[in-house]
Every structure is written in structure tokens, then in C-alpha cells.
Amino acid sequence: MTTVSQSVPSASHLSERGPGAGLRAGGTPEERVAGLFTPPQIVLSLLLVIGVGFLFWHWLLRQHWMSLGAPSDWGHAYVVPFISLYLLWRERDSIVRTRATTFWPGVLPFLLGIGAYFVSVVVIKNHMIQGLSIVLSIAGLALWLTGPKLFRILFLPIAYLVFAITIADRLMIAITFQLQLIASQGAGFLLSMLGPIMGFAVEVEGNTLHVTPKGGASIPLNVAEACSGMRMVIAFIALAGAVALISAKHWWQRVAVIALALPVAILMNVIRVAVLGVASTFDGELAKGDAHMMIGTLLLLPGLLLFLGIVWALAKIVEETPDRAIDRPEIETRGWAALRRPSYMLSLFIMVICGASMTAGIHYAGIHLRKKEIQAPGNRALISLPTETPTWKQIGTDKLESAEVEETLGTKNYITRSFIRKDRKAGEPPMELQLHAAYYTGGVDTVPHIPERCYVGGGMTALRTENVPLKLDPTVWSLHPGVENAEKRGIYRQRVPNWSPDGAGSSVTLPREPDSLRLRVTEFAGASNLTGPKIYAGYLFIANGGHVSSAEEVRLLAFDLRSDYAYYLKVQFTSRTVQSPEELAEQASSLMGELLPEIMRCVPDWVEVEAGRYPAKEESKNAS
């Protein structure tokens, strides 16, 4: 049997060589900051960081505002770069003993990332894709400047930066919608086990729990995104990724830990919702507001312990043998001469030129990436809509949502009001419509709540969906006098009717081609009784003078790159008393036709905005 021992020097041999033996200029551990960087490498790294920051500063600034504005959702983005730096520092011995080489094929992913970033800024207009493009560009830069051997060490710390990217609402909703239902069902099962012991009953309808204490009224607990999906999924996957990269040694262990992040997030969500349900039986206010955030934060600790336990269990599956120390001297560094390497100089040149060109091009083209908020004249809100029209009158009171639901809704400028027709003949069944309108401005990345998601989440089943035209009265419209080719462009104005409480005689600008307004109508039935009573809900969006009936299209319509502002209005009609999508559109046409001038008073006049006459400069300065 042959024994190979040359690569493992004896202790005496190591002692004879002494610490730092075999190291060249700038290479001893004492000369490295934090055991990793030599002074020239610090300067070089800072120049590269400045170059990346200069090239992608638009995205970095927007991500900062997103994280600052929603710390409970995306505040962890501030921590992610430091975790990546720690992962680099952990591998410092391997890094200083691996020679950096110029790998020119790395230029391709570097430039591809820059190109994808530009396209996602100007064409796609997607913050998440911009962030992924930046990570790709950083990875390409690292591969180019350090070579494949060193890049293998740098890859995971760079890849971890993905967790600093705010995920697009549409993608998160698609991923987490079912998680809401799972959390509701799981929490309902857990509460049903505790109910007989603690004296309460629980019912589950979609993502809403109804907790009823003995002798008390039912307490609804809505499992909205803020409570059961988006925050916990991202936080736990990021936490799992950090634990996997720091604590697990083998790739399969890391994959297993990250794969378990989703089940752990669901489990912690179930526990959190159950805790809120129990708390609500003592005090209904405990299930609202800061309790959500506090309980979610506290559950991160057992989540961390659970991940560490998983790593420990996986480590027991295979018997670990201590690594045999191999005395590999640090490689010779190139000192300050490294700053003159063509690859470094070219990479800095590319970042500076691309960053300057992109900034200049955006400015020259009049593109506005950060949108300002804009309100209707006098900050007129939707709540000011009249309670009565010639044909309709309000019944009941306006529905006001809780702070949690308003946060999920994404705006406080909304109205939910029920109307009943006044002209029904004796013996005819009453005709009722619920009007819901919500105005969004500034951050139009917010996905509007639509019936297909909300009603299904409430426990109903969508049976069919179709687009149905509204039939408004065109005789009350007049061509816009201040717009050229108004008839060809379909731009009209309408006088506010005399019955208006405060706007009689004034005129408003209508959306383009108001005769083509269409509702996207969905028919819903109870999940347990598909042949029973139906609910019909239809909606449309008005944005930048246009209108669409699709939640996917409204963002493109509202986010005009050449405008300082981004804004849109959702108008939704719901009824239990109509019998078909066509009848809903017929009744909505009646109410919409009478309220349309008042509704348009609650949004900016898009013709004035496009002409630059509204808002006034002082108002615009205050809005920004």
C-alpha cells in the first residue's frame, strides 16, 4: 500500500518555515486588511464599486426608496450586501491562495447584463429584471477580472445579492396566492384543535378566518398578503440562503436547506395566523396593526433555530473527516501594477462610459424614471362622489377598510359605496350595485386588487370571465376645444350636471374614446354551491387619458416614461341582483354615465398634465 504524504508537511517543517514564509511583496497576512485585501486591492475594489454604483445608480436609488418605504417587506435588502461580504471574508484563505487571471470571455455576461439593464429600464420597465441584470453584470465583471478558478469562490457571495432585489408584485402574487389559502387552512385546523380547550369556534372561508368566542360575536381575521405570504416567504428564503451558505459544507446540504425554506415559511405563517386568532379572542385589536409585524419578527428566531437544526441533522447523515491542512503559500500579488492591467482599466472605462451615456440619453430623451405623485385639483378625493344621482341613491354607509387592508390595497384614496335604483316599479326586485373606485399615483408598481384574486381568496369560485362594453350617452359629450384633431383622437369633454352638489356648470375631460369603455366581468359562485346565487363583478382602469380592462395592461398605460407623473384609477362594479355579465354592464352603464363627470373630477385632467399646465410649478415642487 502506498502512502502519499508529500503535500502534508510536518509540524516541525511548518515551524521552520515560519509564518508568512514563501509570501511576496504585499502578500503577507499582516499586510492584508481583514486578512483579505492588500492596499492596492482596496483601491482597486473601491474603484470598481464606484464604477458599478455610477452605472446602476438609478436602480440603487429606487431600491433604497422601496426598502425605506416598506421596511417590513424589503428592509432586509440593506443587510444582504453585508452577508455577501461576510461570505467573501470567510473564504479569505482560499481567495488569497488562488491566482487571479484575466478571463476575456467574462466580458460577454458583463456586457449582456448592462444591455439587459438598459432594455429593462427603457422598454420593459421592470425593477426586478433590472436588479437581476445588475447581478449578472457583477458576476460577469468578477469572471472577467479574476478568472474561472477564483470565480468559483466568488460565485455564491455574488449570487446571494439576488435577495436584495424587490420582487415584482405580479410574480409574488402568483407565487404566494396559494400560500395564503394554505396558511388559512392550516391555521384553521390548528385553531379548531385549540377551540374546544379555549372556548371558541372557527370557520374558514378562503383566506378569511372567523373566530367566534363563546357568547361573543364573530371576529373576522383576513389572511392578506401582508400577513401570510410575501413578507415571510422572502424573509425565510433569504434566511435559509444565509444559513445554507454559512453553515452547510456540501452543495446537496445547501440545496436541501433552501428547498425547505418554503415549507418552513408556511409553517411559521400557520403559527402566526393561529397566534393572531387566539389573541383576537382576548382583544380584537391584538390581531391588527403592529401585532402582525411583532409576531412575524419573533418567529424569525425559531425559524433560524429550525434551519440550524436542519443543517445539524444533515451533517449527521455523512461522517465528516477533518480536513488535512495543506501549506499552500499565498500567491504573489501584482501590487500597484495591477491598477494598470488592461482588463481593469477597460472595465472601469466601460462602466463610466455606459453610465454617463445612459444618464445623458435618459436626460436628452426626456425620460423620467422616478415618478412623482399627482392629485386631482384641490386634492379632491373619491369619497367626495355624490351619494345620489337622478337614477341611483346610496344605501347604507361607505365601507371603510382597516389599516392592514389599506396597506394591502396600496392606497387610501378609495371609495366602496352601495347604490340602489330609484326607478324600479312596484313588484320588481330591487337593483343594487356596489361601486368601488381606487386611485393610485407615484409608485404604480402596486398591483391593483381585482375580483379574480380577492373573491377567490374569500372562498368563492370564478366561473367565467368576459369583456362587456359599456353603453354611455354620447349626446352629453362635446369635442375638447383645446385639442387639435379632437374628433379624430376621440377627446371629449362633458359638463358636470346641475344636480352636482358643488360642480354644476364646470366641464371635465373624459378618457380617450369614451364610447369604447369596456368592463372585464367575472361570474362567481360559492365554492360549496356552484349552482347557487351568483355574484358578478366587473372593472376597468383609467390612466393617462386612456382606458383598459386588464390589470396587466394598466401599468404600461400608466407608466409613461416621458411623463413626470404616474397615476391611474380603478373603477369596479359588483352586484348580487343582476343575472348576467350583460345585465351588470347595463346597470353599470347607467350609474357610470351619471357619475362619470364626478369621477373625472377626482383625477388630474390628463390634457392639462400632458400640456404641462398642471400641476403648477409650485405644486409640482411640493409634490416631489
List Cα–Cα distances, 569 to 69, 168, 209, 321, 404, in angstroms.
Answer: 22, 20, 30, 64, 21
Contacts of 542 (CB under 8 A, 6+ apart): 511, 568, 569, 571, 603
pLDDT of residue 328: 55
Q: What local confidence, expressed as pLDDT, does residue 324 receive?
A: 56
pLDDT digits (tens, 9 = 90+) for 193-239: 888 888 888 887 767 787 888 777 777 776 654 444 455 677 788 88
- Amino acid residing at 216: G
- The residues, ordered by sequence, that sit 6+ positions from 199 with a Cβ below 8 Å of its Cβ are 213, 214, 281
Residues of the chain falling short of pLDDT 70? 1-35, 72, 206, 222-232, 284-293, 296-297, 319-339, 404, 443-447, 617-624
Burial class (CB in 10 A: 0-12, 13-18, 19+), 84: buried
Nearest to 117 by CA among 133, 138, 98: 133
* Closest CA relative to residue 198, chosen from 275, 293, 302: 275
* Amino acid (one-letter) located at 196: P
Calpha distance 276→287 (Å, rounded): 5
Task: Spell out the domain ranges in the chain.
Answer: 11-166+335-364, 170-317, 377-623
Asked if residue 240 lies in contact with residue 256, where contact means CB atoms within 8 angstroms, the answer is no
Give the pLDDT of residue 284: 63
pLDDT, tens digit, for every residue of 65-77? 888 877 767 888 8
As a whole number of Å, the end-to-end CA separation of the chain is 78
pLDDT for the residue numbered 472: 96
- What distance in Å separates the CA atoms of residue 578 and residue 19, rounded to the nearest whole number? 86
Q: What is the pTM of this model?
A: 0.77
The pLDDT of residue 585 is: 97
Give all strands of the β-sheet with 492-495 in edge-to-edge order.
Answer: 477-479, 492-495, 507-509
Give CA–CA dist 435/573, Å, rounded: 5
